[in-house]
Amino acid sequence: MSERVAYGSQEGTTPERSAQGLVGRILYRPFWLVVYSLAKLLFRLRVDGRENLPDGPFILSAVHRSFIDTPIVGVITGKRLRFMGKESLWKSRPLGAFLTFFGGFPVERGGADRTALRAAEDVLALGEPLVMFPEGTRQEGARLDRKQVLDGPAFVASRAGVPIVPVGIGGSAKALPLGKKIPRPHRIVAVIGEPIMPPEKVKGRVPRRAVKELTERLYVELSDLYVEARVLAGDEPAPG
């Protein structure tokens, strides 16, 4: 396998396919305002580090321990975020409309990683922040497992030339643990870290090793932020 991966725009890429419709744009903020109000009421949501959010497009990468993490991430920035969802969900018009209002956009699944990549690039090309959970799916544990932190965010950030913003979330695993369907009141704290800049391209390319190094840095930053968020949420005592 070649050591370098070609980056840049793909032929046939049409950012409009990932653009959010007018109705979705109109209803987006009222929807998330309701979610934010509920999060404050039920979970006493606290967000630290909003000053670290950059202008323009970026990838928001958070620790993932609960279904609650997705709506929590949706309200912590005050910006309109975009989320990937499998295309089959849009077969139901009501569900598809809801997901669009939510900031979601459809991506083909089943061996279509390149399609997902292009869709992610489309969103960033539109100047919109994109949410990508580096662990891929919900995990368990009070610490991150390096093997579970995937290269996806680093790969897309390198191609698009945008920063990654790491986010630690504490308390969500106790508010809605794996296997539970009804959340319970518990303090949730989100800590937004400083942006991690992507590696520089050389003749339009980024070394594969540079992507790995970016993932490693994301893992280190997320690990620290996750511990900080857990301490602030009361999930564990302060170190020392």
Structural domain boundaries in the chain: 4-233
pLDDT at 141: 87
- pLDDT class of 15 with cuts at 50, 70, 90: low
CATH class of 4-233: alpha beta
DSSP assignment, residue 189?
Answer: E
Q: What is the separation, in whole angstroms, between the first and last Cα of the chain?
A: 46
pLDDT at 7: 33
pLDDT tens column, 177-197: 888 889 999 999 999 999 999
Question: Where are any strands of DSSP class E within 63-149?
Answer: 83-86, 104-107, 130-131
| Environment class of 194 (CB within 10 Å of its CB; exposed 0-12, middle 13-18, buried 19+) | middle
Instruction: Give this prediction's pTM.
Output: 0.85
pLDDT at 41: 93
| Bridge partners for 196 per DSSP | 164
pLDDT tens column, 98-139: 777 777 877 765 544 677 778 888 889 888 899 999 988 788
Structure tokens at 96: 């598809």
Lowest-confidence region among 134-138, 160-164, 182-186, 212-216: 134-138
DSSP assignment, residue 12?
Answer: T
DSSP assignment, residue 74?
Answer: H
Residue type present at position 48: D
Sheet containing strand 130-131, strands side by side: 46-48, 189-192, 164-170, 59-62, 130-131
Share of the chain above pLDDT 90, in %: 50
